[in-house]
Amino acid sequence: MHELSVCQALLAQVENVARDNNAQRVDRVILRIGPLAGIESRLLQDAFPIACAGTVAAGAELVIEELPLVVRCKNCGAETAAAPNRLICGVCGDWHTQLVSGDELLLASVELTKS
């Protein structure tokens, strides 16, 4: 259950953004997460209100946008969709691939109300 640690790191960043923008309240927090980031979105959703209680982000909505899993084949060059435990080329089946997208764990944006 490292989602709580991740949530605390998230909150620290959100609080910085709120302070830099003289926010009175944080309304929404938008994350972009890849399937290989090692984060359970549901657990993050559960941990978020707990981490935010009593802060400028109390009551904020957490929106998690899933990024696609895409690999590029080192053999044939194709870029194809993949599954977390099957990162092989969708065209030629070679396992010598490179991840193009799918391990991101990003704070994308913060929507806030200014004072």
Partner 1 sequence: MCDTCGCNITPGNKHLVEAGGKLAHSADGKAAVDVLHGLLSENDRQAAHNRDHLDKHGVLAVNLMSSPGAGKTALLEATIAALKDELRIAVIEGDLETENDAERIRAHGVPAIQITTGSACHLDAHMVHDALHHLDLSQIDLLFIENVGNLVCPASFDLGHHRNVVLLSTTEGDDKPAKYPVMFRAADLLLLTKSDLLAVLDDFVPARAEQHLRRLANAAPVLQLSARKGAGLQDWLDWLRAEIAARREARQKFRAAPKLSGVLK
Using CB under 8 A, count the residues that bind partner 1: 51
Handedness of CA 51, 53, 58, 60 (dihedral sign): positive
Spatial CA neighbour of 51 closest among 99, 10, 104:
10
Q: Which of the choices Zn ion, partner 1, none does residue 13 contact, using the CB cut-off of 5 to 8 A by kind? A: partner 1
Phi-psi region of 96 (alpha: psi -120 to 50; beta: other; left: phi over 0): beta
Residues 59-78 interacting with partner 1 (rule: CB under 8 A): 65, 67-68, 70-72
Q: Which parts of this chain interact with partner 1 (CB under 8 A)? A: 1-2, 4-6, 9-10, 12-13, 17, 21, 23, 27, 30-32, 36-39, 65, 67-68, 70-72, 84-88, 95-101, 103-115
